[in-house]
């Protein structure tokens, strides 16, 4: 795995990451979009690459049970704190998306949010084989007839949805053309109290170029687009 600053953040800055994502999806579009695609009622959900538990917090009231998996222990600790503050508990498992420590056919919904796309940077020219290993693992742990859900960015600070890098464009094409996922696009803008607050919460993750654009445009509300890819197995 090639190192990059996202790995450092996920390993050491989970609280800062949680403060940033807490400002996302100001219009609460994500849950209705997910519900339009999948019936989560009574389902066991596997939340892979869960991070600080954004999807688990959205889905726990509908799902009958769930398990969260993440590679980074710091993210799991913050995930647990967020669960406690919300008043629910899904077991936390430290694990690799390439080799999930989970039984086959163990859940009706298997979701991976903002996780697999990192493989495009982390694994260099071999990224596609790593993506497909993770997709095969998602299929393995899904029950027959179950749903696979993948969420990824379609642009931060972008005025319309589009893959933000050529590598992600190729990855999304792989999902749709080779693996038969279908894509839904959702606006999930960030909302901050001020321009300086937006910069303070986002620059550490997205970098100086986005910070400059936020200042130039005077954005307290920063555009964000999310893609949801869904497939039944």
Write out pLDDT tens, residues 136-162: 999 999 999 999 999 999 999 999 999
Question: Encoding tokens for residue 141?
Answer: 């742990």
Structure tokens at 13: 């800055």
Instruction: Specify the pLDDT at position 218.
Output: 98
Residue 216, burial from CB neighbour count under 10 angstroms (0-12, 13-18, 19+): exposed
The per-residue pLDDT for 168 is 97
Hunting for tokens 């993948």 — which residue is that? Answer: 150
In sequence order, the 6+-apart residues with CB closer than 8 A to the CB of 188 are 24, 25, 29, 30, 224, 225, 226
Q: How far is residue 95's CA from residue 36's CA, in Å, rounded to a whole number? A: 29
Give the pLDDT of residue 5. 87
CA neighbor of 178 nearest in space, from 225, 146, 141, 135:
135
Give residue 1's pLDDT. Answer: 54
Q: What is the pLDDT of residue 44?
A: 98
**Residue 7, C-beta contacts closer than 8 angstroms, at least 6 positions apart:** 1, 72, 122
Residue ranges and CATH numbers for the domains of the chain are: 5-193+220-232 (3.40.50.150)
Weakly modelled stretches of the chain, pLDDT under 50: 2
Q: Which of 172, 230, 226 is nearest to 28 (CA)?
A: 226
pLDDT of residue 217: 98
Residues 232 and 209: their CA atoms lie apart, in Å, by 38
């Amino acid at each position: 795995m090639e190192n990059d600053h996202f790995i450092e953040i996920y390993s050491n800055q989970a609280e800062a990451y949680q403060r940033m994502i807490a400002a996302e999806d100001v219009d609460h579009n994500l849950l209705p979009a997910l519900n339009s695609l999948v019936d989560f009622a009574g389902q066991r959900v596997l939340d892979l690459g869960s991070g600080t538990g954004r999807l688990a917090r959205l889905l726990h009231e509908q799902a009958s049970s769930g398990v969260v998996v993440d590679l980074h222990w710091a993210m799991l600790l913050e995930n647990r704190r967020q669960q406690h503050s919300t008043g629910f508990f899904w077991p936390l498992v430290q694990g690799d998306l390439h080799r999930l420590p989970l039984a086959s056919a163990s859940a009706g919904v298997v979701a991976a949010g903002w996780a697999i796309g990192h493989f495009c940077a982390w694994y260099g020219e071999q990224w596609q084989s790593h993506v497909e290993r993770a997709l095969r693992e998602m299929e393995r742990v899904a029950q027959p007839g179950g749903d696979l859900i993948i969420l990824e960015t379609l642009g931060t600070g972008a005025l319309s949805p589009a893959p933000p890098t050529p590598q992600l464009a190729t990855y999304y094409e792989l999902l749709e053309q080779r693996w038969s996922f279908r894509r839904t696009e959702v606006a999930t803008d960030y909302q901050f109290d001020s321009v300086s607050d937006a910069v303070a919460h986002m620059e550490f993750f997205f970098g100086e170029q986005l910070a400059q654009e936020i200042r130039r445009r005077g954005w307290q509300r920063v555009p964000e687009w999310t893609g949801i890819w869904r497939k039944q197995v």
